[in-house]
């Protein structure tokens, strides 16, 4: 039909750009993952050698574990805090606009600036945390230089920047829930907690699904704060898949190997997204 053709014409430029700059390069990366490409010479096919090496690469395995840990904790914590803030700031009260803006602000800051700020906070000699520990008579740590703590400390700015975005999306979701549900629940004698569990959470399911996917993609791509704050150290305790891709591709000139890492990352994120799609499709049947 003519109207269909016109519609396709309108979306064609966007799809052309998507094909040229996202889909085609992604296919190229998949291909390069089967080669020993090092920029200078033409890529040479080496089959699955890169993937076999990945399976035995302790640092890459560490990066995968770190990335998954980073994803679980930052997404979980930022979603939980984001939801809690949204519920608290949903009711019109004095100062609510100020608090909404304040909590959202970290999301618009440059990640490099955020990383620098937290680097200063974590300075083991004179940073804010160390000074606070001394003032309270508590033992001060080496913070980012402590292999046991570094990964969790690097997660803090990640959560800090994500929770504002999550809060805003949850706020939007909360405001679409009809107050009639809560009125009926009140009449039936449901407590606030029961209302939250049986009305709010199920109706927020599509929103939760959206936030989960967006936050997950963001967390799996974590690079800036690793690069600025720790460069994967100490002792590879904070390295991530994205950081290893950068190191292998652009510092060691092993683009073939780095491409195979990218494919692994794509598979992990793809699998998570598919699982989450199944969860998200259920919508609000739970109410």
User: Helix, strand, or coil here: 47?
Assistant: coil
Q: How many whole angstroms from its chain centre is CA 193?
A: 29
Measured CA angle at 118 (ends 113, 120), to 5 deg: 100
Closer of 75 and 121 to another protein (Cβ): 121
The answer to whether 234 and 150 have CB atoms below 8 angstroms apart is yes
Phi/psi-derived region of residue 191, left when phi > 0, alpha when psi is between -120 and 50, beta in every other case? beta
Tell whether residue 57 is a contact of another protein (CB under 8 A).
no
Closer of 119 and 272 to another protein (Cβ): 119
Measured CA angle at 111 (ends 225, 124), to 5 deg: 45
62-101 binders of another protein (CB under 8 A): none
Tell whether residue 247 is a contact of another protein (CB under 8 A).
yes
Residue 75, C-beta contacts closer than 8 angstroms, at least 6 positions apart: 162, 212, 215, 216, 219
Instruction: State the nearest-atom distance from the C-beta of 140 to another protein, in Å.
Output: 5
Window contacting another protein (CB under 8 A); options: 3-11, 135-143, 164-172, 182-190: 135-143
Closer of 8 and 145 to another protein (Cβ): 145
The answer to whether 266 and 187 have CB atoms below 8 angstroms apart is no
Tell whether residue 56 is a contact of another protein (CB under 8 A).
no
How far is residue 66's CA from residue 88's CA, in Å, rounded to a whole number?
A: 32
Window contacting another protein (CB under 8 A); options: 91-99, 126-134, 168-176, 197-205: 126-134
The answer to whether 220 and 167 have CB atoms below 8 angstroms apart is no
Tell whether residue 111 is a contact of another protein (CB under 8 A).
no
Window contacting another protein (CB under 8 A); options: 73-81, 134-142, 157-165, 273-281: 134-142
Instruction: State the nearest-atom distance from the C-beta of 234 to another protein, in Å.
Output: 6
Window contacting another protein (CB under 8 A); options: 19-27, 115-123, 156-164, 170-178: 115-123
Tell whether residue 139 is a contact of another protein (CB under 8 A).
yes
Q: What is the CB neighbour count within 10 angstroms for residue 166? A: 28
20-39 binders of another protein (CB under 8 A): 39
Instruction: State the nearest-atom distance from the C-beta of 100 to another protein, in Å.
Output: 32
Tell whether residue 50 is a contact of another protein (CB under 8 A).
no
**Interface residue with another protein, options 123, 152, 181, 185 (CB under 8 A):** 123
Beta-carbon-side half-sphere exposure of residue 260 (alpha carbons within 13 Å): 22
The answer to whether 118 and 157 have CB atoms below 8 angstroms apart is yes
Binding site for another protein (CB under 8 A): 39-41, 59, 116, 119-120, 123-126, 130, 133-134, 137, 139-140, 142, 144-145, 147, 227-228, 231, 233-236, 247, 249-255
């Amino acid at each position: 039909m003519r109207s269909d053709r016109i519609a396709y014409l309108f979306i064609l430029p966007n799809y052309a750009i998507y094909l040229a700059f996202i889909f085609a390069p992604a296919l190229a990366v998949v291909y390069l993952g089967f080669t020993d490409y090092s920029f200078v010479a033409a890529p040479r096919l080496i089959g699955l050698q890169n993937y076999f090496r990945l399976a035995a690469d302790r640092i890459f395995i560490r990066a995968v574990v770190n990335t998954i840990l980073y994803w679980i904790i930052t997404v979980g914590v930022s979603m939980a805090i984001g939801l809690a803030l949204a519920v608290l700031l949903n009711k019109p009260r004095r100062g609510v606009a100020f608090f909404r803006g304040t909590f959202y602000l970290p999301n618009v800051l440059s990640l490099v600036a955020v990383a620098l700020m937290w680097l200063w906070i974590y300075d083991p000699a004179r940073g804010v945390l160390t000074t606070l520990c001394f003032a309270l008579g508590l033992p001060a740590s080496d913070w980012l230089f402590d292999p046991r703590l570094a990964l969790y400390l690097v997660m803090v700015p990640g959560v800090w920047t994500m929770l504002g975005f999550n809060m805003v999306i949850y706020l939007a979701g909360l405001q679409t829930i009809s107050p009639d549900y809560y009125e009926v629940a009140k009449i039936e004698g449901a407590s606030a907690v029961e209302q939250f569990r049986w009305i709010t959470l199920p109706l927020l399911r599509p929103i939760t699904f959206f936030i989960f996917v967006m936050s997950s993609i963001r967390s799996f791509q974590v690079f800036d704060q690793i690069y600025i704050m720790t460069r994967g150290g100490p002792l590879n305790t904070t390295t991530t898949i994205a950081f290893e891709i950068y190191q292998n591709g652009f510092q060691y000139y092993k683009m073939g190997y780095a491409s195979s890492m990218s494919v692994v990352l794509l598979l992990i994120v793809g699998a998570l997204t598919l699982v989450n799609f199944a969860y998200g499709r259920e919508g609000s049947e739970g109410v």
